[in-house]
Amino acid sequence: MKRTRYVSAAAAVTLTVCGPVTAAAAVSADAARTVAAAPALRADVTAQGAAAAALKHYPGVVESLDQDGSVWHVDVIGKDGKGHAELEVSASGAVTEQNRDTDGNAAGSKALVSAEVTAEKAMKAALAAHPGQVTAVEWDDDDGTASWHVEVKGKDGKTWDAQVDPTTGKVTRSGSDSGSGSDDGGDT
């Protein structure tokens, strides 16, 4: 009779102590199978997020950014106008520096560095004119007139090109590059 009590007491203690551990191990093993079977999560970064991440890594002014698959290529001009960095921002927001130059032409970057409308504001203006997702933005002053060129992939699947004034933020020209013949080329 004493032996039965000891065995029963030992079994109760074992179940009390090991029961939760065994249950936790079973849950952990089941969760491990679930996690392994789940697809990898992507935290796709938007153009705005890529610009913010790049500027956090290399303070200055975004000169251009464009998307290549899940990677953003971002060119940043330093606040002094001399420095320049070519950065890549991954889908998770990680920044990798591809190239850095510290002896650029400050006079050539003066208009960009002093522009009232930044790349971020130009993206916002373009999205107000054509809702969707920005896929590229670029500073252009080749023809003597500075402007931002912003490419937006609309919710309808069409790609819109917008020209944004660097002083006012007004979308001065926009049109579709979808090949559907809906390129209005007019002011919005």
Name residue 31's amino acid: A
**Segment 130-162, tens digit of pLDDT:** 999 999 999 998 877 899 999 999 888 899 999
Predicted local confidence at residue 9, as pLDDT: 47
- pLDDT above 70 (res 40): no
Looking at per-residue pLDDT, the higher value among 161 and 181 belongs to 161
Looking at per-residue pLDDT, the higher value among 31 and 55 belongs to 55
By three-state DSSP, how is residue 117 classified? coil
Taking residues 172-177, report their average pLDDT.
70
Looking at per-residue pLDDT, the higher value among 13 and 109 belongs to 109
Quick count: other Cβ atoms within 10 Å of Cβ 175?
A: 18
Predicted local confidence at residue 35, as pLDDT: 40
Sheet holding 132-140, edge to edge: 95-101, 84-89, 71-78, 60-68, 132-140, 147-154, 159-164, 171-176
Taking residues 40-45, report their average pLDDT.
61
By three-state DSSP, how is residue 69 classified? coil
List of long-range contacts for 21-30, beta carbons under 8 Å, 24+ apart: none
What pLDDT band is residue 182 in, cutting at 50, 70 and 90?
very low
Instruction: Take residue 144 and report the two structure tokens written for it.
Output: 């003597």
Taking residues 24-48, report their average pLDDT.
53
Task: Provide the H-helix boundaries in the chain.
Answer: 2-37, 47-57, 110-114, 119-129
- pLDDT above 60 (res 13): no
Q: What is the mean pLDDT of the chain?
A: 78
Predicted local confidence at residue 10, as pLDDT: 46
